[in-house]
Chains A and B, each alone.
Chain A
Amino acid sequence: GQNIDQPTEMTATEGAIVQINCTYQTSGFNGLFWYQQHAGEAPTFLSYNVLDGLEEKGRFSSFLSRSKGYSYLLLKELQMKDSASYLCAVTDSNYQLIWGAGTKLIIKP
């Protein structure tokens, strides 16, 4: 079967750095997405990786290793507003999106 694994919950301190990991086993690979979802709000797109390496967007970076079936989302200079759930999703060979259960990130002052 197809599966996406990510930690259920993480805690970090304001101003620090946190890395949220995502591992996947899917039938083929056509890209990996990260979405952010604040409580009670819509998930919003953060990043897309299809080639190996690091993509940087301001305080957020996303890394992909296709050979290892692994990605991470790196958040720097954490702010209280970064408290949210972070969803990892992979597009398989049929362009179906396979979702992880999400990682709830709690930021403490």
Chain B
Amino acid sequence: ETGVTQTPRHLVMGMTNKKSLKCEQHLGHNAMYWYKQSAKKPLELMFVYNFKEQTENNSVPSRFSPECPNSSHLFLHLHTLQPEDSALYLCASSPRTSGGGANVLTFGAGSRLTVL
């Protein structure tokens, strides 16, 4: 496989459930990201990992817990979510996290999450 792959594509969960989103990239990139996309709103950056180390947590509630076991895999563990957490969760990767030049993000197709 190539590019960025996210699973599952769709997830419905109750507020007391525990679930996880998975992201995998085969591009040799060093940086990985979780974004939240809600209708008619800008992409919200949640977490950034650089060489497996978390470099940014954008004031995300603790009910979202990221995990990055290596530079190719990223997880988002979900626990006791709220209905307002329903959204499209996008994973992305890039060669690096900062610096000059076009640091282009490659996105996965997203996991559509519905919290009941």
Residues on A facing B (Cβ under 8 Å): 4, 8, 30-31, 33, 35, 40-45, 48, 50, 87, 89, 91, 94-102
Judge whether B109 and A40 touch: CB under 8 Å: yes
> Can you list, as one digit per residue, whether each of B87-116 has a CB less than 8 Å from chain A (1) or not (0)?
000100000011111111111111000000
- Min CB–CB distance A99 → chain B (angstroms): 4
Please tell me which one of the listed residues A30, A40, A45, A99 contacts residue B43 in the complex, with CB atoms under 8 A apart. A99
- Which residues of B line the A interface, CB within 8 A? 4, 40-43, 45, 90, 97-110
**Given A4-B42, A95-B99: A45 in contact with B105 (beta carbons within 8 A):** yes
8 contacts between A and B (CB under 8 A): A31-B102, A41-B109, A42-B109, A45-B104, A89-B43, A94-B98, A95-B98, A102-B42
Closest B residue to A3 by CB, please name it.
Answer: B42
Q: How far is the CA of A48 from the CA of B90 in the complex (A)?
A: 21
Also in contact, A101 and B40, with CB within 8 A (given A40-B109, A42-B110): yes
The docked-state distance in angstroms from the alpha carbon of A41 to that of B6 is: 11
A-B contacts besides A48-B102, A87-B43, 16 pairs, CB < 8 Å: A31-B101, A31-B102, A33-B104, A35-B105, A42-B4, A42-B90, A42-B107, A42-B110, A43-B105, A44-B107, A89-B43, A94-B98, A95-B98, A97-B45, A98-B42, A100-B42
Is B103 a contact of A43 with CB atoms below 8 Å? no
From residue B48, how far is it (CB to closest CB) to chain A in Å?
A: 10
CB distance from B46 to the nearest CB of A (A): 13
Residue ID in chain A nearest B109 by CB atoms: A42
Nearest CB in chain A: distance from B61 CB, A: 20
Q: Which residues of A contact B100 (CB under 8 A)?
A: 30
Contact A99 B42 (CB under 8 A): yes
Specify which chain B residues have a CB less than 8 angstroms from the CB of A101 in the assembled complex. Answer: 40-42
Least Cβ–Cβ distance between A4 and chain B, in angstroms:
7
Complex CA–CA separation, A95 to B98 (angstroms): 5
Closest to B102 in A: A48
The one of A41, A48, A94, A100 in contact with B104, judged by C-beta atoms closer than 8 angstroms, is A48
User: Which residues of chain B have C-beta atoms less than 8 A from A48's C-beta?
Assistant: 102, 104
